[in-house]
Amino acid sequence: MTLSSPPNQPDPLSGRLDGNAAAGQLREIFAVDLTAAVGCCSGCGRTGAIGEAHCYGPAPGIVLRCTGCDGVLLRIVTTDDRVWLDMRGLSILQLSLRG
């Protein structure tokens, strides 16, 4: 698989994008948009929108890291028929129920 950043590959200078780039993959799994959700980093306690997290990828999966401590918030690996999701770096995820 290849993924995925608006509109193309990650910036070669920094090698990363932001959590917005993971929106499509996350919406394959979750019924709600996660980029507008506020997450709390289990490493340093910083809170912020998932869309603002640093995003590395795409191969072999997407890694979202905290903008404060650079700790891993979320990892997602997708193959043709399976998804692995590791969210241990997020102690809390706060979602809006309004559109």
Partner 1 sequence: MARAAVLGRLTWRAATVSAVRRESATARTLTLDVPGWPGHLPGQHVDLRLTAEDGYTATRAYSLASAAEGMRIKVTVEQVPDGEVSPYLTTQAAPGDRMEIRGPVGGWFVWRPDQPGPVQLVGGGSGVVPLMAMIRGRSGSGAEVPMRLLYSVRDPAAVLYGDELAAAADRGVRVDVVYTRDAPPGWSRPPGRIDHRLLADVTVAPAERPTCYVCGPTAFVETVAELLVRVGHDPSRIRTERFGPSGGRR
- With binding defined as CB under 8 A, does residue 33 bind partner 1? yes
Secondary structure of residue 98 in the 3-state scheme: coil
Spatial distance between the Cα atoms of 61 and 57, rounded to a whole number of angstroms: 6
- With binding defined as CB under 8 A, does residue 95 bind partner 1? yes
Q: C-beta of 94: minimal distance to partner 1 in Å?
A: 13
Residue 20 or 91: the one with the smaller Cβ distance to partner 1 is 20
- With binding defined as CB under 8 A, does residue 10 bind partner 1? yes
- Residues ≥6 apart with Cβ < 8 Å to 63: 55, 56, 57, 72, 74, 75
Query: Which residues lie across from 48 on neighbouring strands?
Result: 39
Write out the two tokens for 61. Answer: 């999966």
User: Could you tell me which stretch among 9-17, 39-47, 69-77, 85-93 binds partner 1 (CB under 8 A)?
Assistant: 9-17
- With binding defined as CB under 8 A, does residue 81 bind partner 1? no
Residue 7 or 82: the one with the smaller Cβ distance to partner 1 is 7
Q: How far apart are the first and last CA of the chain?
A: 30
Residue 28 or 81: the one with the smaller Cβ distance to partner 1 is 28
Write out the two tokens for 72. Answer: 């891993």
Q: C-beta of 99: minimal distance to partner 1 in Å?
A: 4
